[in-house]
Amino acid sequence: MIDLSTDCGGIKSPNPFWLASAPPSNSAYQNCKAFEAGWGGTVWKTIGGPVMNVCNRYGSLELNREKLVGINNVELISDRNIETNLKEIAETKRLWSDRAVVVSLMVESKKEAWQDIVKRTIDTGADGIELNYGCPHGMSERGMGAAVGQVPEYCKMITEWVTEVSSIPVLVKLTPNVTDIRFPARAVKQANADGIALINTINSIMGIDLDTLKILPSVAGKSSHGGFAGPAVKPIALHMVSQVANDPEVNLPISGVGGISTWRDAAEFILLGSSSVQICTAVMHYGFRIIDDLIEGLTNWMESKGFSTIDEIKGKALNQISDFGNFDLLHKTVARIDQGKCIHCNLCYISCEDAAHQAIDLKKVNGYNETTVKEEECVGCSLCALVCPVDECITMVRVDDESASKTWNELTSEFKDQGKPLTWENLAEFQKKYGIEIH
């Protein structure tokens, strides 16, 4: 039996899939509809002070005719009043007692304002609170959102105001628009937060219509930076989740957000330390129905790998993350091409010839071009395998002595012990010793 239930900072849900605080979680109707479909939790679209949203609030990044590879928005927090939202939150929680109902909050940076809205939120019966320190547009100009999340001292101060009065778990959603995500994460840990959600959207300009010369999205001829989300941001989100998960000064549960579209994406976030995952863009693209694929896919994968609970896979990949100085300098791979699978598109040759190390030959064989790897020239960069359109046509094969290893840190330490400076000549001597080709 596979148990997908999870506990993220004291907030329990029957599965790790939550709606992110965004347009899909804007109302009781939407959240209840999501729960009916099978979602495990929701983070209610951020409520707070009065706002008015604008038309043409989204911009899209398309790639090879695939829609919404990325989405940019200049949308603000909920434009429905606080009373309406609180009433619907209470109604939703009453109807769905087994699901996680988390409420995203953002108000002006005054202690009384934060503590008032926190107390009113607790009265709804909600399972938890998410503090929005991430919105990069609109609200940040008012000293909220990312304007808070970019200053660790502000993160700590406001979180302390909230945790002083909150009787339910408090998650803090952090902005990626910082130099080092660990500093705000450490600050909210010091302020007694129960968990962290990350990432929020990334500052961006979506693009320009080359026919009209208007920046997109265009609001009556004006545009601005907005928040970038969708599948394109997943690698950035994974990096920041892993940074926080690996930081011993944080050690808090994580709700992972950013570019999650499939069960595979969700599994990656969990393997890097997330207890729950939040999804927005994929729902905006395909609707709540994707939950069936998310649950079925994750369940089947866990079963195939012999896992039975989320906790068994949470953080399982974190120990692979290291510094460059700990990489094995003697690890050697070369590219090999399966001629039976090759479709002779020549992309591997072009990329290696023009952008890498000229290690692939192109010659006519029986009327077509055959690509072959010059293994003595191949540096194992893997570019050819990445551009190849045929699965497993080009593979990277290990050819080194697997019993030997040497890291950069070990090498520089040896040089130091021997009184040798780190010079090109000494490095070349090391390479010659181990038969490493110098390119």
How would you label 254-278 residue by residue, b for 16+ Cβ within 10 Å and e otherwise?
bbbbbbbbbbebbbbbbbbbbbbbb
Relative to beta strand 226-229, strand 66-73 is antiparallel
Q: For residues 16 and 256, give the distance between their C-alpha atoms in angstroms, rounded to a whole number.
A: 10
Cβ-proximal residues to 22 (8 Å cutoff; 6+ apart), any chain: 45, 280, 284
Q: For residues 63 and 205, give the distance between their C-alpha atoms in angstroms, rounded to a whole number.
A: 16
What are the phi and psi torsion angles at 261 (to 5°)?
-125, -25
Q: For residues 129 and 168, give the distance between their C-alpha atoms in angstroms, rounded to a whole number.
A: 7
Both tokens of residue 404? 């030997």
DSSP secondary structure of 179-215: S-THHHHHHHHHTT-SEEEE--PEEE--EE-TTT--E
Beta bridge partners of 328: 407
Out of 8, 135, 348, 378, which one is annotated catalytic?
A: 135
Give 331: exposed, middle or buried? Use CB within 10 Å, 0-12, 13-18, 19+. Answer: middle
| Amino acid occupying residue 285 | H
Cβ-proximal residues to 126 (8 Å cutoff; 6+ apart), any chain: 44, 89, 93, 101, 102, 103, 168
State yes or no: is 135 an active-site residue.
yes
Q: For residues 53 and 51, give the distance between their C-alpha atoms in angstroms, rounded to a whole number.
A: 6
Q: For residues 404 and 331, give the distance between their C-alpha atoms in angstroms, rounded to a whole number.
A: 9
Can you tell me which residue has the tokens 């579209």?
261
Cis-peptide, bond into residue 199, ω within 30° of zero: yes
For the annotated catalytic residues, the residue numbers are 135
